[in-house]
A and B are shown apart, each in its own frame.
Chain A
């Protein structure tokens, strides 16, 4: 940016990170007591949304009740939806309502989202599992190794994300799958933990090579993607900008990953919260 003589140069205000616009999309808890540690670190790093794997909406409700009396408050997306739904009618404005709730609340707020990761080998098994779990979780992600399975997942409306494994040398991606993903408004989920936890240089270089191949295909087809860490401990939580900087290692330009750390995740969470709510009739219509 060039400033004219006598004018003050505009400062880049995007750094340090904007408050509360980070999201961790894939946390696996070994014990439910670990959640408190994650919440503590999330607050320190200004991460506003934590998505917990294998935690049903009912279990999450109980956890939210138990953490209520502590130093910070924990919310579920349903609670926020009930607060903002009367003021906002369209999906877009409800997403705006969520954002303003996150930004206006003080620094002691964490939103906990439930998630299920389905690992399967056949389409029939995937459909069976999806019919069982869809109503109990806000986010459903699929992990698979063959292209036909992932194409089936991309066509299915109940799937939100398709997780891609950077450790797998055989990349189950092609142009047809990318095009299907784009048509059905689904996102690829890039899990960055293998980069952070690699044991040696050889393994790291293989992971980065796989990541670069995957990202080349995704960016060429302009398919939406999200970045997540899948942390093994709270110390592996990363803020939005940190995720984007790690993403640079696998060939993601910094300016192209802007929506991949918060925007896509929030949109999916809001859409699914609306669908899972008791008031929901069908898209765009709710019982008053």
Chain B
């Protein structure tokens, strides 16, 4: 039996919009939180990849494995601060097609 692994593209937004935030900080926080909650084993299976991050609108796009989609959502929900700066990372759209996800990003 062939088990297909599909990708999911999650468009997220960071609030507040005027926060001074760089992509490497956000990446590190998401990886760190994922590893804390689900361990290194699940983190390697997740296939996380940061496709895009638009700094002015504070919207970004993450690719993950469809099996680890719920873990990523939990991870994003658990983030409350980065470098003592309070923020909310919340998903605004999820798709299996990158083109469609990118249309929500702009």
The chain A residues found within 8 Å of chain B, CB to CB, are 15-16, 41, 44-45, 195-197, 201, 204, 233, 235-239, 241-243, 245-246, 248-249, 254
Cα–Cα distance between A236 and B87 once the two chains are bound (Å):
8
Knowing A15-B94, A246-B78, the reply to whether A45 touches B73 (Cβ < 8 A) is no
Min CB gap A240→B, angstroms: 11
Cross-chain contact A41 with B73 (CB below 8 angstroms): no
Cα–Cα distance between A246 and B78 once the two chains are bound (Å):
7
Cross-chain contact A45 with B88 (CB below 8 angstroms): yes
Knowing A241-B73, A245-B70, the reply to whether A235 touches B88 (Cβ < 8 A) is yes
Residue of A nearest to B86 (CB): A235
Knowing A44-B15, A201-B36, A249-B37, the reply to whether A242 touches B90 (Cβ < 8 A) is yes
Residue of B nearest to A248 (CB): B74
Residue of B nearest to A246 (CB): B77
Cross-chain contact A245 with B93 (CB below 8 angstroms): no
Cross-chain contact A238 with B91 (CB below 8 angstroms): no
Knowing A238-B77, A245-B77, the reply to whether A254 touches B93 (Cβ < 8 A) is no
Min CB gap A62→B, angstroms: 28
Cα–Cα distance between A236 and B89 once the two chains are bound (Å):
10
B contact residues around A16 at 8 Å (CB): 91-94
A contact residues around B73 at 8 Å (CB): 241-242, 245
